[in-house]
Amino acid sequence: MTKIPPTDHGVPTTDDAGVDGRITTRDGGDSDREIEYDTVTTPVLVVGAGAAGARVAIELAESGLEPLVIGKRDHGDAHTTWAAGGINAALGSLDEDDWTIHAADTLNEGHHLNDPEAVELTAKHMPDRIHELAEWGMPFDRTEDGAINQRYFGAQSSRRTCFVGDRTGEAMLETLIDRAQALEIPYRDNVMITRLLSDGTRVDGAVGFDMETGEGLLFRTNHVVLAAGGFSALYHRHSSRADENNGDGQALALEAGARLVDLEFVQFHPTGMVGERYGEEWDGRLVTEAVRGEGGRLYNADVSASGASGGSEERRSSVGERFMERYSPTQMELDARDVVARAIAQEVREGRGTDHGGVYLDISHRDPDYIRDRLPTMVERFEGLGVDITSEPMEVAPTAHYTMGGVDIDFRTGETGVEGLYAVGETVAGVHGANRLGGNSLAETVAIGKLVGEHVTNAVSSRDRVPTVTSAQQALAEREFRALDDLAAAEGSVRPVELLEELGDVLWETAGILRDEESLREGLAAVAELRARTADLRVDGDRTSCSFEYAVDLSFSLTVAETMLRTALERTESRGAHYRTDFPETEPDWRVTLVLSTDEGGLRIRRRGVADPSDAVRAALDEDHELDYHHLE
Are 66 and 42 in contact by the 8 Å Cβ rule? The answer is yes
Rounded distance between C-alpha atoms, residue 218 and residue 345, angstroms: 47
In angstroms, the Cα distances linking 531 to 249, 502, 512, 551, 567 are: 19, 11, 20, 12, 19
Rounded distance between C-alpha atoms, residue 151 and residue 296, angstroms: 13
**Catalytic position from the list 269, 342, 401, 432:** 269
State the first-to-last Cα distance of the chain, in angstroms, to the nearest integer: 46
Cα angle vertex 107, ends 402, 54, to 5°?
Answer: 45
Is position 79 annotated as part of the catalytic site?
no
List the one residue out of 471, 475, 530 whose CA is nearest residue 502.
530
Rounded distance between C-alpha atoms, residue 435 and residue 408, angstroms: 17
* Interacting residues of 491 by C-beta distance below 8 A, sequence separation 6+: 538, 539
Are 27 and 36 in contact by the 8 Å Cβ rule? The answer is no
**Catalytic position from the list 55, 179, 285, 292:** 292
In angstroms, the Cα distances linking 341 to 17, 129, 221, 236, 345 are: 54, 31, 43, 16, 6
Q: Which helix (H) or strand (E) holds 267?
A: strand 266-273
Q: Which residues of 248-266 are buried (b: 16+ CB within 10 A; e: fewer)?
A: bbbbbbbbbbbbbbbbbbb
Is position 167 annotated as part of the catalytic site?
no
In angstroms, the Cα distances linking 557 to 80, 211, 251 are: 20, 19, 8
* Strand 359-362 relative to strand 203-210, pairing: unpaired
Rounded distance between C-alpha atoms, residue 229 and residue 250, angstroms: 9
Query: What region, left, alpha or beta, does residue 190 occupy, with left being phi > 0 and alpha being psi -120 to 50 degrees?
Result: left
Backbone torsions φ then ψ of 10, nearest 5 degrees: -70, 175
Are 459 and 64 in contact by the 8 Å Cβ rule? The answer is no
- Tell me the catalytic residues: 269, 292
